[in-house]
Amino acid sequence: MRADAQKNRDRIVTAAEEVFLERGANVTLDEVAKRAGVGVATLYRRFPTREELLAATYSARFVTFAETSRARDADLDPLSALRVYLEELVQHTNTYRGLAASLGTVLQVGTPGCVATTEEGTRLLNRAQKAGVVRPDINFDDIVCVATAVSLATEQHGSPKVRIAHLVGVFLDGIGNR
């Protein structure tokens, strides 16, 4: 990428981060372009969809999230590791109001963070299934659907940690291998 193109991309990502934190993931991309000081066409050349822009702004967070999850692996049994992963995925999703509705699409974009988050969630799910504590018919898309639902249910909640933990627990009780 040319230096000026990289500079524009960086400005767009920085502006998007600011706007998404302030106003949520559903702001117009025109607002992001204006904040970045670039034309809308420049923004769309770099990020053809909102989900690609969301994934770019979130990539570093998702990489750190996946690394943190893997680092604590030895300290948790398979079901507890999956529980913590799911709770933290929801908490991360709630950083930008409105991101929950796009989570499944965002995770498919292919940024390093999206790939790391998907691989870690899949690894934890497989580990729990091999341990016999999660039904074998559950897949990572099911985990994302639940994360989306819990995120939507808690994104407007004043202190969502307890509510997130409760809803994740309800889900995990339902997918347990009995």
Domain ranges of the chain: 1-48, 50-175
Taking alpha carbons only, the member of 17, 82, 74, 8 closest to residue 45 is: 8
| Topology (CATH level 3) of domain 1-48 | Arc Repressor Mutant, subunit A (1.10.10)
Against a cut of 0.75, is the pTM above it?
A: yes
Q: What are the tens digits of pLDDT across the range 125-168?
A: 999 999 999 999 999 999 999 999 999 888 776 667 888 888 88
Is residue 86's pLDDT more than 70?
Answer: yes
How confident is the model at residue 120, as a pLDDT?
97
Q: What is the mean pLDDT of residues 70-95?
A: 92
- The domain made up of 50-175 has a fold known as Tetracycline Repressor; domain 2 (1.10.357)
**Cα 171 from chain centroid (whole Å):** 18
Q: Work out the burial of residue 16: count CB atoms within 10 Å of its CB; fewer than 13 is exposed, 13-18 middle, 19 or more buried.
A: buried
